[in-house]
């Protein structure tokens, strides 16, 4: 159950209009327009420094725009207590500062108070404990629910943090490069968990930041491409994640393919001078 009630907006969960973010005279974002409806799962794609995390900070009510309008769950940033608003957003950062030797279940329960330590002044209710077990199971963590944080793999920590973010029943889940540092198996387990989560909660919307197409879950519905703080394209994923647009986004020829619902990307092969073929160079 949510820690407090917040009526859902009749319209989009998120909307930005002509948003600029300027710091030290430099545009980090310029003219960003984005609308996210319930049940949509967006990918924010772009090279390092493109503005992805800056935009995610606006969508998560962590920061304010320099110019333009940002509506989060129907509330306009600058006119609402953002601390209360954040309680209804699941913001997952793989660089979470947790250090204590808490168990997975204890980590997940801290999502009720958005803290990094359990609140010793209150005991979780039976309903909250049951919810924690459900989200732990959904994220494929039931077998390690009693394991302590220092003994978890990087992939297990990432899934535990997603389970933690789900505890307040958020309307929106924000994922900042959740596959960072994961090996192939851990990445695939994470993406399978996200696909299952989205299937089980069709009303949930999500935004996932990455610069690797291989890290997009099959359930991704929409995408926004950023380059140097500006939107290259935004819309349904099949219309946006194309060879032409991804190449423009990353400033390099890239070939896109999709197999079994997942994407791959390869840089176009450079032409090798005749004298360099076979590992030898003409003298």
Cα–Cα nearest to 14, from 172, 162, 168, 169: 172
Is it the case that residue 276 has pLDDT exceeding 60?
Answer: no
CA angle, 54 as apex, 41 and 85 as ends, to 5°?
65
Please give the span between the terminal C-alpha atoms of the chain, in angstroms, as a whole number. 73
* % of the chain residues with pLDDT over 70: 89
- What mean pLDDT comes out for the span 129-134? 93
DSSP state of 51: S
pTM of the model: 0.85
Q: Which domains does the chain have, with CATH numbers?
A: 14-88+171-279 (3.40.50.300), 99-169 (no CATH)
What mean pLDDT value characterizes the chain? 87
Check: CB of residue 88 under 8 Å from CB of residue 73: yes
Higher pLDDT, 256 or 10: 256
Residue-wise DSSP of 146-193: TSBGGGS-HHHHHHHHHHHHHTT--SEEEEESTTTT--HHHHHHHHHH
Return the structure tokens found at 43: 């990918």
- pLDDT tens digits for range 170-213: 889 999 998 888 889 989 999 999 999 999 889 899 999 998 99
- Residues 21, 58: contact at Cβ < 8 Å? yes
Query: What does the pLDDT average to over 254-260?
Result: 91
């Amino acid at each position: 159950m949510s820690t407090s009630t917040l009526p859902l907006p009749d319209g989009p969960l998120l909307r930005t209009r002509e948003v600029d973010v300027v710091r030290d005279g430099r545009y980090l974002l310029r003219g960003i327009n984005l609308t996210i409806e319930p049940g949509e799962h967006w990918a924010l794609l772009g090279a390092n420094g493109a503005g992805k995390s800056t935009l995610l900070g606006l969508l998560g009510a962590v920061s304010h725009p320099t110019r333009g309008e940002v509506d989060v769950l129907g509330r306009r940033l600058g006119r609402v207590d953002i601390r209360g608003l954040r309680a209804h957003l699941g913001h997952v950062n793989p660089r979470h500062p947790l250090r204590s030797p808490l168990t997975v279940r204890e980590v997940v329960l801290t999502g009720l108070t958005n803290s990094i330590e359990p609140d010793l002044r209150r005991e979780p209710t039976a309903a909250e404990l049951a919810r924690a077990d459900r989200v732990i199971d959904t994220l494929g963590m039931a077998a390690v629910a009693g394991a302590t944080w220092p003994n978890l793999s990087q992939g297990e920590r990432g899934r535990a943090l997603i389970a933690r973010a789900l505890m307040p029943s958020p309307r929106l889940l924000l994922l900042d490069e959740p596959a960072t540092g994961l090996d192939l198996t851990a990445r695939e387990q994470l993406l399978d968990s996200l696909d299952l989560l989205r299937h089980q909660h069709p009303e949930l919307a999500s935004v996932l930041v990455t610069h690797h197409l291989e890290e997009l879950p099959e359930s991704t519905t929409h995408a926004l491409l950023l380059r140097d703080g500006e939107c290259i394209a935004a819309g349904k994923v099949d219309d946006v994640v194309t060879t032409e647009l991804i190449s423009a986004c990353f400033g390099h020829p890239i070939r896109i393919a999709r197999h079994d619902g997942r994407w791959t990307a390869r840089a176009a092969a450079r032409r090798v001078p005749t004298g360099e073929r076979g590992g030898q160079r003409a003298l």
